[in-house]
A and B are shown apart, each in its own frame.
Chain A
Amino acid sequence: MSAAEFILSGMLAAATPFLLAALGELVVERSGVLNLGLEGIMAFAAAIAFIVVYQGGGHMLAFGVAAIAGAALAMVFGVLVLTFRANQVAAGLAIGILGLGLSSLVGKPYESLTITGLPKLALPGLSSLPVVGGLFVQDAAVWLSLIATAAIWYMFRATKLGLTIRAVGENPHAAHAIGTPVIALRAAAIAFGGAMSGVAGAYASTVYTPLWADGMIAGRGWIALALVVFGTWMTGRVFFGACLFGALSLAELTAQAAGVGLPSQLLASLPYLVTILILGIISSDRRRMRLNAVASLGEPFET
């Protein structure tokens, strides 16, 4: 297998944890709420999902439980910022730290244990193409995350729900004045974002690397947050950013295996640097940035 084939076939799976978490956060931020607790929510749900699979519950149940766990933890954040109007940055960081702590706690007895991941499903026809064929051999969760991307893109592009979320994010007071339930909508967005982060965590611990190690989320939640901002709150760009990051992290592995004469620490930091650079260039258009940025992001809403 050539390096290109290796990267193409693994890119989507590597991108999936970032993609799912970033899509959830995209919806949350579009509604005007900034949840910085992604990392902790992912870690907590990852531990729960691992335990469910290890105890024989199967992946379906594990993903479901992880989604509920993620949504529940996110709703603690939701109550803090929506009901008590706590500072969103502080509340998000606190929930993130809580999630990491809970993750270590419940995962402790399972340290270094392994489970089996998910089988790959091939798209007939396309998967036998030369070079790019590997792109069409993915596990079920990857296929579902692609469908989720398309669904969220379509929601913002063409549905009343998407329009309402954008309206609430731009001007919650005007939305309230025309009768939109601002708080309820934001609560729903936060729960959805938590569930997506939960599924992202579950994918990382039960499919991508089916082994439990404390701290295995390793900053993925923060990268997902950065992808949303650098992707200028647009679904397509967030997807592109996640794939880019996935591809670069595989490229780094290939380069290390091929013995490129660079220190491994430098190589390991390359995906981050290149992603920031490319997304930075994309988002440097001030006009587009102003049009897409969420005007009320991070501001508590009071009637």
Chain B
Amino acid sequence: MVPLLSLAGVSKRYGTVAANTAIDLNVMPNSIHAILGENGAGKSTLMKLIYGVEVPDEGTMEWQGRSVRPGSPAEARSLGVGMVFQHFSLFETLTVAENISLIVPGKKAALAARIRDLGREFGLEVDPGAMVHSLSVGERQRVEILRCLMLEPKLLILDEPTSVLAPQSVERLFETLRRLRDRGVSILFISHKLEEIRALCDRATILRASRVTGEVDPRAHSAADLAALMIGRAMPAPLPAEARTPGERLLEVSGLDWTNDDPFGVSLSGITMEVRAGEIVGIAGISGNGQQELAALISGERRLPDLSRDVIRMGGRPFGHLGAAARRKTGFAFVPEERLGRGAVPEMSLADNTLLTAHSRGLIRRGLIDRRAEAARTERTIRDFDVRTSGPQAEAGALSGGNLQKFIMGREILLDPDLLFVAQPTWGVDIGAATAIRHRLVAMRNAGKAILVISEELEELFEICDRLHVLHHGHLSPSLPLPQTTAGEVGEWMIGAKEAVDAL
């Protein structure tokens, strides 16, 4: 059988960095084909080459046996390639139908009718007249998929589509994708989640460090086999949590209400939780449900008025009215989600970035910076957390995302805080480093520190947390103990189903 899409010896370099090296790939008709690899393995670059966003330096591409070289997304679309981006390419101030009409020809009324029909057929229901900014992340993804389907593609590329979905929505998406395959649309499914690939795909091409390291039938291999191909060695085991009784309450939030003045933002209501010494508490939920707002309020980036200072207490004292620096002085440390600009200053050296939060740890003498102490502390961070960089004088902005994350995590952990608050601790970090970071967090917990973690990766929370809460539409679920709670139950809280049932 002639492959739908066939790549032979495709390479792409950015400056001195090889993003793809001699890639061979064959996607058959009526197939769901996985591209599996870690962050930075070259998956996204490969998709950009297929979708015409970038042009390969070397190699050939064939479409249904004909040699092609798409030079723009429009050319790729006219061949029959559709792409659903990880960061959606939707316009918030336009309606669903308007967004779709930007690349799909047709009158508005006819488009709206087709959106409804296709939505029913493939389980992608969405209101064509709704403004995109009012839609949930899952609904936005449906709009992206619908927009591709309306161009009647033969190949649909999905870039990490499940990273924004609750477990129940993932099952629904898979149902849609299987239906599409049965109607003759092949799917390229990019992911780093092994179990999903084993459940959905009939073929998998595995990338590691820009090269293909295997092409297998994922249903015939265990997750451990796939992981070995993906990271080049066996999956590291998690550090076991020691049994211990939680100690004193280091963070208490009681009935936090906060109204957002940004009409596109989320308001928080009735947030109540606590974190005790010697436990890790997780906050799960799909991003955009109030995580950023809650992080800003707990870190002190946003203060509460003096009257409601008691709503947030740390170590038993009212904290709500204090700024970030005052909170840090009492043994609190924070790793924000946004690395560049919040977690680190991109234009400054790693040493100066260390100074930003560690200045009270002997780096200042008689009001002057002690450069030697600053460099020593930075070097220690780099060594202990395996940060790949030229040294303490490297600019923070020049580090890769994963390396910078390791550096920021290391900087805050070395402050030895009593209460550590981390948003997305391993986002964009490779598996080896992510495991190392999780080990550090569990070791801190075992040493009696209190840790609060916000993460979109449910697997991660299940691995390290003692219990977790779920944030949905600015409401926080009650505390759910682990491991007694199942992923399915957490998923119900993530999509608000549980809340609705409990309210009846």
Which residues of A come within 8 Å of B, CB atoms?
160, 163-164, 166-167, 170-171, 173-175, 177-180, 286-287, 290-292, 295
Contacts and interface: CB of A to CB of B under 8 A. Distances in A.
A171 B102 contact: no
A291 B263 contact: yes
A180 to B, nearest CB: 7
Interface in B68-123: 72-74, 77, 85, 88-94, 98, 101-103
B89 A174 contact: yes
Contact of B103 (A179, A287, A290): A179
B14 interface: no
Contact of A167 (B73, B77, B94): B94
A286 B214 CA distance: 54
Contact of B102 (A173, A180, A290): A180
Contacts of B101: 160, 163
Interface in B50-77: 53, 72-74, 77
A179 B74 contact: yes
A178 B263 contact: no
A20 B101 CA distance: 30
A303 to B, nearest CB: 9
A137 B38 CA distance: 71
A165 to B, nearest CB: 11
Nearest to A168: B91
With most chain A CB atoms within 10 A of its CB, the pick from B74, B89, B98, B263 is: B89
B263 A286 contact: yes
B478 to A, nearest CB: 33
Contact of B91 (A174, A286, A290, A292): A174
B102 A160 contact: yes
Interface string B226-246: 000000000000000000000
B92 A177 contact: no
Contact of A170 (B72, B73, B74, B91): B91
The secondary-structure label for the interface of chain A is helix
Contacts of A173: 89
Contact of B73 (A160, A171, A179, A286): A179
A290 B102 CA distance: 22
B73 A163 contact: no
The secondary-structure label for the interface of chain B is loop
Contact of B53 (A160, A170, A177, A295): A177
A291 B93 contact: yes
Nearest to A285: B263
Contacts of A160: 101-102
Contacts of A163: 94, 98, 101-102
18 contacts: A163-B98, A163-B101, A164-B102, A166-B93, A167-B94, A170-B93, A171-B89, A171-B92, A173-B89, A174-B88, A175-B89, A177-B53, A178-B102, A179-B74, A179-B103, A286-B263, A290-B262, A295-B93
B263 A287 contact: yes
B261 interface: yes
Contacts of A292: 93
A167 B91 CA distance: 6
A167 B100 CA distance: 12
A133 B138 CA distance: 57
A59 B95 CA distance: 43
B30 to A, nearest CB: 27
Nearest to A293: B93
Contacts of B90: 174
Contact of B94 (A166, A178, A290): A166
Interface string B368-395: 0000000000000000000000000000
A272 B74 CA distance: 48
A170 B53 CA distance: 20
A206 to B, nearest CB: 39
Contacts of B85: 177
Given A163-B102, A290-B263, A291-B263, A178 B73 contact: yes
Contacts of A286: 261, 263
Contacts of A170: 91-94
Contacts of A180: 102
With most chain A CB atoms within 10 A of its CB, the pick from B88, B91, B261, B264 is: B91
A167 B72 CA distance: 19
A179 B72 contact: yes
B263 A171 contact: no
Contacts of A178: 73, 89, 102-103
Contacts of A179: 72-74, 77, 103
Nearest to A158: B108
Given A175-B89, A295-B93, 7 more contacts: A160-B101, A163-B101, A163-B102, A166-B93, A170-B91, A180-B102, A292-B93
A177 B72 CA distance: 9
A178 B88 CA distance: 10
Nearest to B74: A179
What 9 pairs between A and B have smallest CB-CB spacing?
A174-B89, A179-B74, A179-B73, A177-B89, A287-B263, A167-B91, A170-B91, A290-B263, A178-B103
Nearest to B90: A174
With most chain A CB atoms within 10 A of its CB, the pick from B88, B92, B261 is: B92
B78 to A, nearest CB: 10
Nearest to A164: B102
Contacts of B91: 166-167, 170-171, 174-175
A208 B71 CA distance: 51
B22 to A, nearest CB: 26
A289 B89 CA distance: 22
